[in-house]
Structure 1
Amino acid sequence: MLIFIENTPRTYAWGSRDALPDLLGLAPTGEPQAELWLGTHPGSPAHVAKASAGDRTLIDLVESDPELYGVDGGPLPFLLKVLAIGAPLSLQVHPDLEQAAAGYAAEEEAGVPRDAPHRNYGDPNHKPELLVALSEVRALSGFRPLTAARDELRLLAAAARRAGEHDGAEALEAVEARLRGADPETLRREFLVWAFSGDEIVGRALAALAAAVQGEESPLDPDRACVLRDLVASHPGDPGVLVSLLLHLVRLEPGEAVYLRARQMHAYLSGIAVEVMASSDNVLRAGLTPKHVDIAELCRIVDTGELAEPRFPCERVGRGLVAWRPDVPDFVLLRARLCDPEESMRAEAPEGSSPLVEVPAPHPLVLMVTSGRVRVERKAEGEHGLAEVASARRGQSLYVSAGDPVRLTGHGEVFLATVGE
């Protein structure tokens, strides 16, 4: 079955006011619209579009015939999102399966209300996630070598001293000293605890850093300086600004991706992107937020090892079709690029596109068109069956039940999330 689905964007303070309305072909509401959820997560399940008999969610659809619409008789193990990042998100970490199950059980036993602002675990599932940029996207992703953070802290301290801010320079030098030692993983964990300890050096260092990155004379790499200016403007005095120096800063071009394994610290900073994740909403925060920060629990679950390369490559799986396949069974993300047959014959087609893309569907697919208009077709079953056909434009989404492959034609770009291997 090819079923149109839709949802109302979620309004978080960090969202963009116009990016999601532009993608969906809707008028802006004036609110910051941050995320569009397309899945069966109970926090915001997608709805069957234009349902004839009242409102019907994708959960209702799966429960009406779990064998036809579900995965192993249950809801989708993945959640597809579109993110519109108008301001930096919190620094955050997601638990692995064992940590999520234990944390959820402990909070349930303690009677912590599921909607309590200090609750850490809303479900017993892990939350690895993969993000693919639709525009230029900036993100902090994974721990980088401590030497890089120490070098930047020394540059900031020197700039503060040249400006006559000797107290601030000493504070920044004290921060740098905390990152010296033989065991980087232990140093990072201890730094996280200290940054949120209330030590007055943290406040002095943050004030000195904020002053040092203003204007065009910042001693840092321009990208890092720009990010720090945004962070201190959005979250003045937040220890997460210092923590951000420990992380890789990544600038993604459209089509590039990052994969965020469970326990990996990260924060999205700006841009528009497609994201797929395990169906969970468990988040432990490490600053850059007014929300609850449980630094002890975060330090218990975070992986403080160094990440060699934050970008995650795709693989070509067919003409016009690429896949991002992380090492989890919950999801895989596919991208199809389609061109007109005439363009293909004249060798004028966009790179990596094809006039026809066939996508296997052994499990349900959630499909979203991010540019152009696409025809989705599944051949008829049996001698007298009728083929299923749907025409979807930019911003429209489909739920595709498991079955025979679907054929995509038209002109544009399509993302499809499905179950991993």
Structure 2
Amino acid sequence: MLIFIENTPRAYAWGSSEALAEMLGRAPSGAPEAELWLGDHPGSPANVAKAAGTSLTLIDLIASDPERYGVRGGPLPFLTKLLAIGAPLSLQVHPNLEQARAGFAAEEAAGIPRDAANRNYRDPNHKPELLVALTEVRALSGFRPLNQVGADLATLITVASEHAAQLTTPAEHTAAAELRSGIELLEVLHEHLSRTQRTDAEFRAWLLEVMQHDPRVPLAITAVRAAAEAGSGSTLDAALASGRAQVLRELLQAYPSDPGVLVSLLLHLLVLEPGQAIFLRAGQLHAYLSGVGVEVMAASDNVLRAGLTSKHVDIAELCRIVDTNDLSDPYLPGIAIAPGVTVWRPEVEDFQLFRARLCPAPEEWDDPPTEPMPRAIECPASEIEIAAEYPLVLVVTDGRVRVDRPDGEISEVANVRRGQSLYVSAGEPIRLTGSGEAYLATVGVAGTSAG
């Protein structure tokens, strides 16, 4: 079955006020709209569109005939989202499967309500994530080499010290003293970087603890702010890694006294062009900063935060599960498997993500075109076949795509425009034609994940 699904965007504060509305072809609501969930996760299950005046969620649909609509008689092991990031998200990590099961069991035994603000584990599942950029997406992801961190700390110390030296009037005495105290902590961190006997992983764990608990941290953030403001457009921007100074300014504006501003210095700063992807493994510290993308993840809501948030932060538990090793390559390349088809297959069984780019066969083109061709016109395919051994969640991100199942028991056709989504039950392959771009999430190549 080809079933149109829809949902109401989640109005998180970090969402964009325009991007999802533009994608869905409607006027902005005026509120931030952050995530559109396209799955059967209980937190925000998608609705079956045009369900004869009744409210029918994807949970209801799968429960009505699990063998027909579910995955091996159960719910989907993955969740698909459209993300519209208008402001930085929290610094966060997700547990692996063993950690999630143990943490969930412990909090259940402790009687902590699953919707409690201080709950870390809301389900017993892991939450690996894949994001493919639709626009430029910026993100902090994974630990970068410590020599890069040290170089940036040295620059911040120099610029902040120059600013402190200019505060000479009696009225500026208190501000200068506070600034020097903050610089002292940055100097301590920098000195330890060059003299530590710890391994890099051990040192990062120590840094996370210091940045969260040292009483000088608020003053250190003041020093970073002084450097960011004093160095705008000059020393700092030239000396720090590309874009790092601007990110510091944005984080300071959004979270003026949050230790996560310091923690951000430890991480890679990524700029994804449209079509580039990152995969977030268990324990990988990360934060999305801006942009629009398609995300698919294991069906879980387990998040442990390290900062850049007003929500619950459990630094002790985060430090227990975070992976403090270097991340040499944060990107996940797509694999071109057929003309017009790219697939991202991370090392998990829960999901994989296809991108299909279509253009009409030349004999079908209007001359001149009656409407603008989508950007996907550059693709080499006029017809694409996608296997549907397991259910698919399809979302069109550009143009208009015709979906049909020519070898199915009954004739099925759906014309899906930009911003619309389909739930495709398992069965015979589907065929895509038209002019546009679609993303299709389904179960990973190894089948369903245990648990």
Interval of TM-score (by shorter of Structure 1 and Structure 2): over 0.9
Deviation at 1:166, TM superposition (A): 4.3
Superposed CA deviations along residues 76-121 of structure 1, whole A, max 9, x for unmatched, are: 0000000000000000000000000000000000000111100001
Q: Aligned residue for 1:373?
A: 400
Structure 1 distance, partners of 2:129, 2:276, is: 14
2:219 counterpart (204, 211, 229): 204
Q: Aligned residue for 1:192?
A: 208
Percent identity reads: 61
Structure 1 distance, partners of 2:107, 2:410, is: 51
Structure 2 distance, partners of 1:168, 1:293, is: 23
Q: Does 1:414 align with 2:438?
A: yes
Over aligned residue pairs, what C-alpha RMSD do you find? 1.7
Deviation at 1:28, TM superposition (A): 1.2
Question: Which moved further from structure 2: 164-173 or 107-116?
Answer: 164-173
Q: Aligned residue for 2:421?
A: 397
Unaligned stretches of 5+ residues in structure 1? none
Q: Tell me the TM-score normalised to structure 1 length.
A: 0.96
Question: Which moved further from structure 2: 185-194 or 285-294?
Answer: 185-194
AA aligned opposite 2:193: L
Q: Aligned residue for 2:170?
A: none
AA aligned opposite 1:322: T
Partner-residue secondary structure (3-state), 2:404: strand
Aligned 8 A contact 2:376 2:437 in 1: no
Partner-residue secondary structure (3-state), 1:245: helix
Structure 2 distance, partners of 1:102, 1:316, is: 38
Structure 2 distance, partners of 1:417, 1:201, is: 46
1:326/1:349 Cα in 2 relative to 1: closer, same or farther (>3 Å)? closer
Q: Does 1:177 align with 2:191?
A: yes
- Count of residue pairs brought into register by the alignment: 416
Aligned 8 A contact 1:179 1:191 in 2: no
Partner-residue secondary structure (3-state), 2:216: helix
Aligned 8 A contact 2:182 2:218 in 1: no
2:354 counterpart (318, 334, 350): 334
Q: Does 1:240 align with 2:240?
A: no
Deviation at 1:160, TM superposition (A): 1.4
Partner-residue secondary structure (3-state), 1:272: strand
Q: Which has the higher helix share?
A: 2
Partner-residue secondary structure (3-state), 1:196: helix
Structure 2 distance, partners of 1:388, 1:46, is: 21
Structure 2 distance, partners of 1:171, 1:380, is: 67
Q: Aligned residue for 2:25?
A: 25
Structure 1 distance, partners of 2:265, 2:303, is: 21
Structure 1 distance, partners of 2:133, 2:376, is: 21
Q: Does 1:124 align with 2:124?
A: yes
Structure 2 distance, partners of 1:286, 1:18, is: 28
Q: Aligned residue for 1:46?
A: 46
Structure 2 distance, partners of 1:114, 1:292, is: 14
Unaligned stretches of 5+ residues in structure 2? 166-178, 368-374, 446-451
Q: Does 1:216 align with 2:230?
A: no
Structure 2 distance, partners of 1:99, 1:178, is: 31
Partner-residue secondary structure (3-state), 1:244: helix
Q: Does 1:9 align with 2:24?
A: no
Structure 2 distance, partners of 1:262, 1:343, is: 49
Superposed CA deviations along residues 161-199 of structure 1, whole A, max 9, x for unmatched, are: 2221644433321222343424011111111112111x2
Aligned 8 A contact 1:2 1:398 in 2: yes
Aligned 8 A contact 1:9 1:34 in 2: yes
Superposed CA deviations along residues 97-151 of structure 1, whole A, max 9, x for unmatched, are: 0000000000000000111100001000000000000000000010011111111
Structure 1 distance, partners of 2:12, 2:343, is: 30
Q: Does 1:356 align with 2:383?
A: yes
1:72/1:149 Cα in 2 relative to 1: closer, same or farther (>3 Å)? same
Q: Aligned residue for 1:287?
A: 307
Question: Which moved further from structure 2: 408-417 or 210-219?
Answer: 210-219
